[in-house]
Structure 1
Amino acid sequence: MSTRQQDARVIDGNRRPEWARSAVYVDGGWRETAAGRTVEVENPATEAVIGTAADAGVADTEAAVSAAAAAFPSWSALPPPERLAVLERVYTGLERRRDLLVETTIAEIGAPLRVAREAHVDTGMAVLRAYLDAAEELAWQERVGNSLVLREGIGVAACITPWNYPFYQVLAKIGGALVAGATVVLKPAELTPLSAYLLTDTIDEAGIPAGVFNLIPGPGRVVGEALAGHPAVDAVSFTGSTRVGARVAALAAASIKRVSLELGGKSASVILPGADLEPAVRASVEAAMLNSGQTCTAWTRLLVPRADLETALRLAAARADTLVVGDPTRPETDLGPVASPAQRHTVTGFIERAVADGARIVTGGTERPAGLARGHYVRPTIVTDVAPDAEIVQEEVFGPVLTVQPYDSIEEAVALANGTPYGLAGAVWGPDQGAAVAVARRLRTGQVDINGGAFNPAAPFGGYGRSGNGRELGRWGIEEFLETKALQL
């Protein structure tokens, strides 16, 4: 038994047995790993061990890929309405598990109650719903002159997901793949495998055919690399760091498989002259701090007209200081911990180096929040007086840190917004929609919110540059897992 604090939900074996797992799901059933290894799962808010997960290896990965390859011909041959009927049962089963999914998300990633419910679980459900709706309207075949154009599942899809949104990110990948007629091998993040187990329970209960979906929790350096380089895997969909994404793409290149990468972000929120400053700053701070800043689309750079800089700094600090940091199970909490001690060290290191380089901390910093001696907490931090090429401006921090920079012209604002290697998301706030859209069209990024436009789970999602390639969500997320065939008649 671990020497770290144990959670009663594991010790008593009754209240939450869903959090104590040791198996992989392969070929329609649960089985122990070939080596019999497990890993502990920690609650980042309490540092308590709350459960276990399988620590799969290469042999388990081989078994999962073989099962998926064997299941592909029959699954892909099913008429789309029959595949959708299975996935509708999955959706219904997840609805029944909503409260448990929220509780599990709070426990394994430290997301506050409201964030776990709305941003993690409900958004994940909305993504699956959008896939099902899009499939109803997708042209699975069409006539083009004397050709019949067919769209068919690509084959075996390896889906490798990150720890920051463990439920949403899984559905964003496997939803499109399964709808398309691909079969799936899922490798969830080592830090947050518990919600993937609950999802797998639901898929199993829905009666999905054996081998169509397989769950292999395990380390990326073992399972992830085996999947990326496996010759029987036809597509890899990976979300994570740019560094690891480059490694996935290199491994996949040997077998010329399709690769979709959703990687880092360093998104800018641009406030134009004449925009309503207070709501734009408030929303930008909230977006930067959502999920304790562990969001690839977080608007981590706020760009404001130079004349508005000091007002924007005052407004940003005031909003950051009202955010409640603490116990994620309490309804009033806005920010929980970051995911791990390593992540806390990474975030505070960025802040320390920025200060050493001359940056000014407007609020926040590296000190632990008051009254929180345990847990991987970081204070909401606003930083200014940073150069365009500063590390904290150029690199993804993945924590609750927002930089604020002034600009003197629209041209400079666009240059600053486009001045990092990333291009995943962003925002533009203007005096009217037309002015904001005109600037948004010039941003080299995959998604831009206009004057607070809401997230759309049916719209394409993905990045430019070092933020990756390919698209998820809606019909675009299905098409990532389709091959196109032309029959000349």
Structure 2
Amino acid sequence: MQEHLNFYIDGAWVPAQGTRTQDVIDPFTEQPVARIALGDARDLDRAVAAARRAFPAWAAQSREQRLAVLQAVIAAYEARMDAIAMAVSLEMGAPLTLARQAHAVAGLSHLKQAAQVLAGYAFDEVLNRTRITREPIGVCGLITPWNWPLNQIACKVGPALAAGCTVVLKPSETAPLSALLFAQVLHEAGVPPGVFNLVNGDGPGVGAAMAAHADIDMLSFTGSTRAGVAVAKAAADTVKRVAQELGGKSPHLLIDGVDLASAVRQAALQCFRNSGQSCNAPTRLLVPAHLHAAATAIAVEAAQSLRPGDPRDAATTLGPVANAVQYAKVRECIATGLREGAQLATGGLERPEGLAQGYFVQPTVFAHVSNTMAVAREEIFGPVLCILPYGSEEEAIAMANDTVYGLSAYVSAPDLAHARRIARRLRAGMVHLNGARADHAAPFGGYRQSGNGREWGRMGFEEFLEAKSMFGYEEEQQQAA
């Protein structure tokens, strides 16, 4: 079993101050595969102090100097891609094929995107006689989740370092292995001591202290809406900037006239991808009432086409959910749907046939779901699809917007112009039109209880910058005679 009892602080691996530890559980075997130290406020203080000391020199580096470091990070990451994918699969159960083709690749893409933004970003502009410049905000605390660990780490760390900030990262304590590899990547790439620091820990031990820490200038958090509220409250006394990417209950609107077989299959598989553990997953499928039965049959077929099993088996297309807590939560949500009267079209509470161990949830389809049911309103974060019939397009748009969330939405329409019109009326931070994939150069984030701020691309980079106005900086223009 792996032992990871040190934290990466000020360019070195140092022992934890306390004695608390936690096992990392493989969600397929339900057995421990590693043990990590859990930090406390003393470990966080050391990391923050290191980041504070390193900040002036790192912020003062030129664009070219920071680009050179980022390029070295990218090269070191590429050399570790297979090990990173294996770590992700081991710690949170993603099929190894998905870990290689999506998880590890996403991390690399965000690092490259950060370098690309830095290379062309205009830090200064002139307005009248005022010079407006954008400067790094300072020491940043980063709290990342277990569902897409490398994606969320890289899309925060990459732009923060590119902007000239120093960081302290607290990855999820249930999926820390890929984060530890990421720290090794940055060390091998020659990131200066104190610029990047990692402290493992849980929410009460490190997360809350990070949110409240007076020497952390900005906090970037990804996780549940409930946890995000707690983080924002803890951060309020220090008036630090808080950027949050939280929960979602994303609708997928199917409009009459679309290729039903293709659109429903794609919608279902998008929902079940990563075992349904994506905040932007299209978990509410809205279909015309007269197509409800046909859409349900197609979704059932898609669900039953998935092959659950050992994540390290190349044939596996559905892994377990990431941990025991999530397993219990998803099963309780399915039980709630059954109590509410939603029609179980496939799936349910039992493990998939032939699997006696692992946190496996059958890909589940509920039909005849009302938008007032808990399964249609609460984020389940598992492979559960709800199909909701609607009578008119206006009703579909109203149903889609009838949620406390607003992270993502999906539209499948007979033509792009039709999809565009609907997209403009949806209250969500992102809308996918006719199967379009996400773009790492575009902003990622949501409305309402899905969070505030944006990640990815230029707008994600700007979350780590402050704007300074220098009045009278420019020479006064002489009036022509």
Q: Shorter chain as normaliser: what TM range?
A: over 0.9
Residues 1:361 and 2:357 are matched in the alignment: no
Residues 1:250 and 2:233 are matched in the alignment: yes
Give matches, 1:17-416, under 5 Å: 19-416=2-399
CA shift for structure 1 position 142 = 1.9
Q: Measure, in 2, the Cα distance between the counterparts of 1:123 and 1:209.
A: 24
Q: Measure, in 1, the Cα distance between the counterparts of 2:464 and 2:133.
A: 13
Give the ranges of 4+ consecutive aligned residues of structure 1 lying more than 6 Å apart after TM superposition: none
Residue type matched to 1:291 in 2? Answer: N
Residue type matched to 1:235 in 2? Answer: M
CA shift for structure 1 position 37 = 3.3
Q: Which residue in the other structure is 1:5 paired with?
A: none
SS in 2 for 1:423: coil
Residue type matched to 1:321 in 2? Answer: Q
CA contact (8 A) 2:368 2:389 kept: no
CA contact (8 A) 2:369 2:389 kept: no
CA shift for structure 1 position 382 = 0.2
CA contact (8 A) 2:249 2:379 kept: yes
Q: 1:487 aligns with which of 467, 470, 475?
A: 470
CA shift for structure 1 position 54 = 2.1
SS in 1 for 2:349: coil
- Which residues of structure 1 form unaligned runs of 5+? 1-9, 11-18
Q: Which residue in the other structure is 1:467 paired with?
A: 450
CA shift for structure 1 position 279 = 1.1
Q: CA RMSD in A?
A: 0.9
Residue type matched to 2:327 in 1? Answer: R
CA shift for structure 1 position 486 = 1.5
CA contact (8 A) 1:361 1:383 kept: yes
Question: Percent of counterpart pairs with the same letter?
Answer: 46
Give CA-to-partner distance per residue, 1:69-113, whole Å, 9 cap, x none.
111111111112211211111110010001111111111111002
CA contact (8 A) 1:153 1:181 kept: yes
CA contact (8 A) 1:22 1:37 kept: no
> TM-score, with normalisation over the residues of structure 1?
0.95
Q: Measure, in 2, the Cα distance between the counterparts of 1:331 and 1:160.
A: 32
SS in 1 for 2:243: strand
Q: Measure, in 2, the Cα distance between the counterparts of 1:295 and 1:402.
A: 13
The aligned length equals 472
Residue type matched to 1:435 in 2? Answer: H
> TM-score, with normalisation over the residues of structure 2?
0.97
Q: Measure, in 1, the Cα distance between the counterparts of 2:342 and 2:447.
A: 28
Q: Measure, in 1, the Cα distance between the counterparts of 2:109 and 2:25.
A: 28
Residue type matched to 1:287 in 2? Answer: Q
SS in 1 for 2:265: helix
CA shift for structure 1 position 435 = 0.2
Give CA-to-partner distance per residue, 1:215-266, whole Å, 9 cap, x none.
0010111100000001111000000010110011111111110000000000
CA contact (8 A) 1:424 1:445 kept: yes
SS in 2 for 1:20: strand
Q: Which residue in the other structure is 2:478 paired with?
A: none
CA shift for structure 1 position 20 = 2.5
CA shift for structure 1 position 196 = 0.5
CA shift for structure 1 position 164 = 0.5
CA contact (8 A) 1:301 1:403 kept: yes
CA contact (8 A) 1:131 1:458 kept: no
Q: Which residue in the other structure is 2:476 paired with?
A: none
Q: Which residue in the other structure is 2:477 paired with?
A: none
Q: Measure, in 1, the Cα distance between the counterparts of 2:127 and 2:217.
A: 27
Residue type matched to 1:430 in 2? Answer: A
Q: Measure, in 2, the Cα distance between the counterparts of 1:275 and 1:451.
A: 9
Q: Measure, in 2, the Cα distance between the counterparts of 1:108 and 1:167.
A: 12
Q: Measure, in 2, the Cα distance between the counterparts of 1:339 and 1:414.
A: 33
Residue type matched to 1:374 in 2? Answer: Q
CA shift for structure 1 position 155 = 0.5
Q: Which residue in the other structure is 1:431 paired with?
A: 414
Residue type matched to 2:362 in 1? Answer: R
